[in-house]
Structure 1
């Protein structure tokens, strides 16, 4: 059956499937190569060779290299910290930090700092995308903080909760960065200590 454009519904679904498969293969290859070589030393040619997808398809899916890097980071974080996991019931801070620890121990968690480096020296789209990326994660923390209030006092976030979300995000990233650089840093103990400090507030 045609949808009026001359393309049968089955054919359109197949085209969409091929597009999704191409996107997945490009993201897989880019994630591996960024982790192996770094952002600067990875080209679209390298990604095309690793993925088996033509070089011209990469900007069609991701516009540019910065867009590809952000897509790799978002997918990597959502793999371990899927947003739907927190939609029904907000977990404890200890659970949130345990989930983050699992992601931090994954092979490619340093991507978050690779994107930070690009964002800090860029005034282009990657800076704005990175701001949005962390703004979304801070909003999740603010929702968690608001849910911790005693019944009857819950409402919109105040400045203290927004500031706490920034501080928590910074503390978690700082602990993560130290653990990547210094093998003597105990990631689990540091994150547990942070949870205890906040829950004891």
Structure 2
């Protein structure tokens, strides 16, 4: 009897993990398309093919689901920091990451992030802080323009990254992402040589 229970428990756990991933994928797509507040449990259930009642079972509530979506996105972005050698390499990695469909989520949710009491506000603050740390690591050994603090230089580079991402998502026919990142690298590197 015990021998039969173990494979069944393993299969149930696997099914639970798969359901959770399907819900996260569906929520990511829908949050990116419609925004967090405009997406319902019914929308997510329809997109994922998983019952609506499974959402609170897995995540507690909609905020819990959003947190799971954000954690998944953060995990997927983790390689931006780990393998970059310098600012130019880091910017190349960011450009490649920005192209991922899931990154559209960042643009859709940014408007909600500035609203009072928004459940995504803290995420954006943490995301910006994380990206500033990555860029600071990429330029740690580099010269920066005289009279410019390292923190200010990093904040400007991060602002440019976020701005390019937003412009490209809104008007990809008008903004060439590759050329813009080449320009950003050139300005960042030549700007560091300025006196």
Q: What range is the shorter-chain TM-score in?
A: 0.7 to 0.9
* CA distance in structure 2 between the partners assigned to 1:14 and 1:161 by the alignment: 52
User: Which consecutive unaligned segments of at least 5 residues does structure 2 have?
Assistant: none
Question: Partner residue of 2:139?
Answer: 145
Return closer, same or farther for 1:41/1:86 CA change in 2, 3 Å cut-off. closer
Return closer, same or farther for 1:101/1:58 CA change in 2, 3 Å cut-off. same
* CA distance in structure 2 between the partners assigned to 1:128 and 1:85 by the alignment: 21
| SS of match in other structure, 2:101 | coil
Pick one of 121, 146, 156 that aligns with 1:167.
Answer: 156
Question: Partner residue of 1:186?
Answer: 176
Question: Partner residue of 2:185?
Answer: 195
Higher relative contact order (Cα pairs below 8 Å, separated by 6+ residues): 2
* Equivalence map 1:13-24=2 (5 Å): 13-24=10-21
Q: What is the TM-score normalised by the length of structure 1? A: 0.74
Return closer, same or farther for 1:66/1:168 CA change in 2, 3 Å cut-off. farther
* CA distance in structure 2 between the partners assigned to 1:9 and 1:160 by the alignment: 59
* CA distance in structure 2 between the partners assigned to 1:32 and 1:52 by the alignment: 14
* CA distance in structure 2 between the partners assigned to 1:191 and 1:85 by the alignment: 15
* CA distance in structure 1 between the partners assigned to 2:39 and 2:118 by the alignment: 19
Q: What is the TM-score normalised by the length of structure 2? A: 0.76
Return closer, same or farther for 1:118/1:22 CA change in 2, 3 Å cut-off. same
The answer to whether the Cα contact below 8 Å between 1:93 and 1:195 also exists between their aligned partners in 2 is yes
Residue 97 (str. 1) matches residue 91 (str. 2): yes
> What is the RMSD of the two structures over their aligned residues, measured on CA atoms?
3.1
* CA distance in structure 2 between the partners assigned to 1:64 and 1:164 by the alignment: 40
Structure showing the higher helix proportion among its residues: 2
User: How far apart are residue 43 of structure 1 and its match?
Assistant: 0.7
* CA distance in structure 1 between the partners assigned to 2:134 and 2:80 by the alignment: 12
Residue 47 (str. 1) matches residue 41 (str. 2): no
* CA distance in structure 2 between the partners assigned to 1:17 and 1:73 by the alignment: 22
Q: Which moved more, 1:185-194 or 1:53-62?
A: 53-62
Question: Partner residue of 1:126?
Answer: 120
Return closer, same or farther for 1:96/1:64 CA change in 2, 3 Å cut-off. farther
